[in-house]
Every structure is written in C-alpha cells, then in structure tokens.
Structure 1
C-alpha cells in the first residue's frame, strides 16, 4: 500500500474516532436534561407512591414511614441529587416494587428488547431493498401503485391493532407462531419474536421503501448512471454497483430515525405480545408509580436512542465518503 494512501486512511480513522468521542461527550448534557425533565414531571403526576404501595391497609403512620424509607420526604433538590448519585454508581436506584437495583432488572429485560429491535430492523431491510427496487423500476405501473398503496395503508394502521390482527391470522387461525413469550435458544427466540418483529418491520418498511424508491429514481437520472449504461453495463450490475449504494444514503437516515422511535415503540408491542422486555417493565412501573424504575428506564431508553443516532451518523459517513466528520 502506498504511503500516501496509508496516511490518508490513518487520518480518516483518527477523524472518525474523534467524532465518536465528541458525540459521546455531547451525550452528557443531553442526559442531564432528560434526568431533570423525567424527575420533575414524575413528581407532578397525581398519586402518592407510598399510598399506592400500601393500599387500603396503609394508615397515615405507615405511609409516613414508607415515605421516609424511600426518601420521598426529602426536599426535591436532595431527592434529585440522590438520583444523580444512583446514576453515577451504576445502580440507577432501587426499585420500590421489586426491592432490587434498577440496573439488575434492566440487564435481565434488556436482551429481549434488543432482540426485538434488531430482528425487526433486519426484516425491514429485507423488505425494503427488493420492494423499493421493484417499485422504482416499475414506476407508475400497477406493481408500483400496489406497493405504495399497501404500505401506505400499513403505515396508517396502529401497531397494536396490526399486532392483534396478525395474532388472529398467524397464531389462532394458522397456528404458525406463538402469541407470547420470549423463547429459549436462538431458533426458539426467532420463532417467538417473529410476529412482534413483523409488526414493527412493516411500519418501518412503509417509510424506508418510499425513501429508497425516491433515492433510486433520483440516481437513475444521474450522468454517471447514463455513462455506465453506455459502457455496456447490464441493468443488474448498474443497479448493484452504481444505483443502490448511492440511493441508500438517504434511507440510512430514515432507518436510523425510525429505529430510535422503535426503542420507545416497544412499550406497546411488548405489552401486546407479553414480551419480558424493557417496554413492558416500563408500563408496569408507571402503574405502580415506581419512581426509581421509571427514572432508570428513561435514562436507559435515552442512551439507546443516542447510541443508535451515533451509529446512524457513522453509517451515513461510511456510505458517503464526501461527508467530512470534522
């Protein structure tokens, strides 16, 4: 390898590393703002955690003792300071309902959510690329109109309703997939997560197909595509080498943004399919007014979203060498 090329690769690698550290450093004020919003908005909600936990059997003395044990009788600024201390220690606080460190419960439930997000993203990509290519090549023909119509309808359908429809069709009428659970082992988990992942993937593909189709149509009119065809390149090679890599750039941003939305959207899907993930744990914590658990899960969701956005920016830069991260 020539020395000039080697030096250029090293420089690009250093720029990429510096960019990653810069984005990670920017995460600190973002998370601090999220902790402030989450902490004070929770305190503004009606209902007292101590009263809800004790129920009808809790008198004024018992409620006061539980508040003291949970630190709810302290001034708000001190409660917030203790919350930041829990984040710094890595425990994220101690769950009121479960009596365990929030981080322990998060680590138990996190794999199910990550599996669901990764599986749904893979299915969305598998659906997006061939259907977007077909829609662009058959522009304004019946196949193109049908693809746009079907995925526009799917985009308008609420995810929980689509999930229930798929459960009735593919789990009750045709008992192909289980309706709940997480499974054990790789194949079992794929089997159990297929329906919920498909619900999320259809919503994602509804956006990415339109984005990729538009990108392909724009690239097809470029001069370098015309030149490639003039040189005798076939349609398949032109699409694979020249059109698709350049058209994917805009779709990467759409996919990354929607994947960030999926992190929060798992709350509904995990509840519908009874998956033991972070989303279902978040719903349980809200109903129980488990302040430490809600706060800890909010921080975890925020970190996951920021990391996905960072990965999207990196993938965008790798897909388009013209982008300068510095």
Structure 2
C-alpha cells in the first residue's frame, strides 16, 4: 500500500524491515506498546506518513467542542422537559412530553441531521449546511445544528429516566415537611427533588455520552465537519490502520475519563457514599 502496485520485491523487503514487520510478532507488539506508552502514538499514517497522534490532535478540538455542546444541550433540555412533565403529571403537557421519546427513539441520527439541514440550513438559512466557520463565533454558529442533532438522540432516554425518578421523589414524605416549613416550591424542586432524582439519570448520562462519542463521528460526516469522524471514515476507506487504531484508543480513553467523572459527580450528589469512601 505504501510503495504502490508496481513495487519490486526488494523495495517491499526494505519497507518490511523499516516498519519492523520482519521481527517476531511478540517483538512487534512490544515495540507498539513502547511507542504507545512513551509517545502516545500508534504509529505513522500509511497514506501520509504523519504521526497518527498529530493527525488526531489536529482534528480533536472541533470534535471535542461538538461533544461538549451536544452534552450541554442534552442535559439542559432533558432537565427542562422532565421537570415540566413531572410537575404536570397526567396533564396534556405531560402526555405530549411522554410521546416525544417514543417517537424520537426510532429516528436515525443521520436522518435527523438531514432534516435539520433542509429546514434550518436550506429553507430558513439560519445556519450553514456544512463545514466549520472561522473564529470562535463562526465555529460555534456552524456547530449548533450538529450539536442539536447529536443531543436529539440522547434526550429521550434521559427525559424518561429523570421524569420517573422525580415522580418518585415528589411522592416522598419529606416533601410534606419542607412545604410545611414554608420553603418555596421552586427551591424544593431545584434543591431537593432534582438532586435526589439526578443520581440514576446521571449514571445513564455517563453511558449515553459514551455512545454520543460514536454518534458524533457519524454526524460529522453528515455535516461535512473535518473532525475525528471524517478522519476515521477516510482512514477506513484507505485502510490506514495506525490512524484507525489511534482513534479507537483515544475514544476508549475518553469513555474511561467520562465514567470516572460520572462516578465523582455521583459521589458528590449522594452524601451516603461519602462516608464509605
């Protein structure tokens, strides 16, 4: 692949030696692990010859910003919808919000992205249909539609989980004491009901954000964003294995970090775990 279709056996043998492919498989693996630990790299790109770490680092800021924006929108909208549904139990608004997850769970993320492009990009021309703008303002503006698309896939399960937990807490006995003490309903809802309901949903959010990373890679292709997703798909089509390995590795590390942050947040939210740890 590196030397081309008409390369000579001598050139192939020389390239095997350069890449270390003539070594025993155990030695090759040890070289790979050593390079990974010391340099955080999975090797040079077969196509460009550039370090996989440098290629990923060049595309990572856009992807990370998209994940942060999508997570923020998913959390904000899920909190709003769940609180509205729980405080209006069995009313029209509650039924409408409960129907929303049922419908949206079956929508593929790329299809949602195309609909948003047609409506807000082509029809209304509020947002660009693809690419990333220049500067922070242009970048944020161009990533709004992709962030909404990614968040759209996470909201249904979060709303359903948080609503169920809030309804359970709203029926607890301690709320009667808080209301009798004259504490405003808004304070009870935000400081007591929401905090006691958030822990199971927070654990679900940690799992969903891990899936969100994979969904972001697909959305980048739909919107033509030059992030890690487009790099991954181009590397797959060109069979650029070191880059594919690097992307898989860094995504796995991101999932581990997110899981750790979720554990720390759950420890902060649930005082019962503080004494044990």
1:309 equivalent to 2:259? Answer yes
What's the CA shift for 1:128?
1.0
What's the CA shift for 1:235?
2.2
Match of 1:158 in 2: 108
1:213 equivalent to 2:168? Answer no
SS of the residue 2:271 aligns to: coil
Whole-angstrom CA distance in 2 between matches of 1:155 and 1:278? 25
Q: Which moved more, 1:217-226 or 1:286-295?
A: 286-295
Q: Residue 28 of structure 2 is aligned with which of 51, 67, 79?
A: 79
Structure 1 gaps of 5+ residues are 1-49
What's the CA shift for 1:55?
5.4
Q: Residue 89 of structure 2 is aligned with which of 122, 139, 148?
A: 139
TM-score by length of 2: 0.92
Correspondences of 1:311-326 after superposition (within 5 Å): 311-324=261-274, 326=277
Q: 1:137 to 1:301 in 2, by over 3 A?
A: same
SS of the residue 1:322 aligns to: helix
Match of 1:24 in 2: none
Match of 1:231 in 2: 181
Whole-angstrom CA distance in 2 between matches of 1:69 and 1:142? 69
What's the CA shift for 1:54?
5.2
Q: Residue 117 of structure 2 is aligned with which of 153, 167, 170?
A: 167
SS of the residue 1:181 aligns to: coil
SS of the residue 1:151 aligns to: helix
Whole-angstrom CA distance in 2 between matches of 1:223 and 1:310? 33
Match of 2:227 in 1: 277
Residue deviations 1:103-139 (CA, integer Å, cap 9, x gap): 1112111111110110001111121111101111111
Q: Residue 252 of structure 1 is aligned with which of 181, 202, 206?
A: 202
Superposed CA RMSD: 1.8
Q: 1:287 to 1:77 in 2, by over 3 A?
A: farther
Whole-angstrom CA distance in 2 between matches of 1:235 and 1:62? 77
